[in-house]
Structure 1
Amino acid sequence: MTNAPAEFKLGQIGTRPEICAVYGGSRNSGGIVPSVEPKNITLFSDHEVGVTFGYHDGWLAEEDEFGPIFEYTGAGKKGHQTFTGKYGGNNAAVRDHVAAGRCLHLFVAVDTVPGTGTKRHRYVGEFTLDTAKPYVVRESLDEDKQPRRAIVFRLRPVGTVQRVAEDEIPAATVTGGKLVAAAITVCKLIEPEKNTKKKAKRSAVPEVEAQRREADLSDAFETYLTAQQHTVGRFQIKIKGRTSILLTDLYDQTDHVLYELKGTNTREAVRMALGQLLDYGRYVKTDGHPEMPRRVVLLPSLPDEDLQELLADHGIGIAYQDGDTFIGVPPSLS
């Protein structure tokens, strides 16, 4: 998908005015620069800026069956990042770039023009969002050093791109989990239903209906727990030697219970939840609860008997929604 001459070669360096002259957009648009004509979105990444906000843009060391991923943090320096508002509109443009017919071109800051503060940027190549998981949501710091929700786009290369060591995300030096706010979740950003006769074509927003069901279940259960005066959070988990970050579903701090939510009762969903709980549960510890948490799969309804036995064989509990209440939650909430 190419709409403008690729005048910048891989590794070529230029200033914002030089780059925008080729790919379009305003040179003063921040890190995400959309262009109507030519149909491009230029992404500017700066490793030094990322460190001040507690994140690292760059290549994940771990590749899946579809190849490499470059993580790119969205726009918005203060408060939660969103898909609406002044900066959120640019995030939405990235999210919807396929439907809009726009190319994503990535540049990384390398130095400044001698004798000035003007930054120069190196061309990494053309990208598109991962179709299976276009973005994740994590906790990071805003410009006031306050925790906030950050959108992290997962970019896939289109054709040949430049991959150099300085663009790699540093691997974690220790293994451990960090307790973060329950609001740090992609579920909070799922788009609402639109009242249209024909469903709009979405780009890079996979399985939106399933995600929405899971989001509704998460919101309902979080409300249920907090109404019982329980404190709810999540864990961001880093593994020593790896660059990717894991994010759990809801964690009940009061009862030390880790929940994995699924919006459907299919065997595939239940097996995935089982594996996630067996994995994540090893790292969910607090000063008050250094022991393994109780682990529970939360579903929209009770699964079939065979799946119940599967979970029981691994010491995993089951909770499910029943109207305005939930069945199978720990005794203190029953």
Structure 2
Amino acid sequence: MIIMLQQFINRKYELKFLNDKYNENKKELIIIYGRRRIGKTMLIKKFVENKKYIYHLCTLDSMDENLNSLKNKFAEITGKDYFNDLKSNFYELFKYFINEIKSDKVIIVLDEFPNLIELNHGIVSIMQKIFDELMDNTMLYIILSGSSIGMMEDELLSYKSPLYGRRTGSIELTGFNIRNIKYFYNSNMEDLIKINAVFGSIPFYLSLIDRDKSVEENIKNKILKKGEILYEEPKILLKEEFREPRIYELILRYISMGHNTYGKIVNATHLDKGNISKYLETLISVRLVNYTLPLNQKRRGIYEINDYFLNFYYKFVYP
């Protein structure tokens, strides 16, 4: 399987962690999560280069569609065409596959795993059963990746999860710091600070910058121009993440305008106090908003957008 890679930047620690686990020569169950556009898939595809692996992007089509895709990939990597004719479920499919590879070192990536959870909540328990009953004496390396931070933490990482105690490692991927921005826009420190303040720290957003244009031209051409990806990106992000994107958009807009305490947000949005608390907690859980308390105090903290690009967008572009 050949995958064309875009320019891969940084992620040295994360890549070393994944390779160190790979070199332990035992069964592995690794959880990788982080918000959309953060570079999870890029990291995974860089890690599996020159290794024996299967990459499957989980979809919401149906469980059968996902199973058929996996059957095809299992047949391809083992050279056994019978996989495509199997009428087996998820557990049985892995049982056949592990019986074929035996002690071979193979990586299986299930990207956007939360989609499978949406289709069948019992899939997490099935993965636990696969890990406990089938993976002993193997060097199977499974990666479960996802953009839904709340679901990944609740369903895979929490104490109540069937996979609790099974995972052998986990990575929450975060944005780049200002030192990495020079790889996208090699200029003086003042311009790098401007780029960081506007485009933020998300690798995908930074990759859209035109190195040959000024900061101001990049803002005009990449963010303010209708039809460009970043012009609609925040709306798309909220639609993918939330069931009520307009309400979250309203809250982010007012926080960006300086209404950054609970009382100010309630007064500005005119939303029910009880609901506001839930919306703010959700925004914090998906890492879009930070809540900061004053030193030695337990109340009257402030809310800040945890993304420079979203803050810029809702303060200057959205209005």
Q: TM-score, structure 1 length as denominator?
A: 0.26
**Relative contact order: is structure 1 or structure 2 higher (C-alpha 8 Å, sep ≥ 6)?**
2
Q: Return the structure number with greater helix share.
A: 2
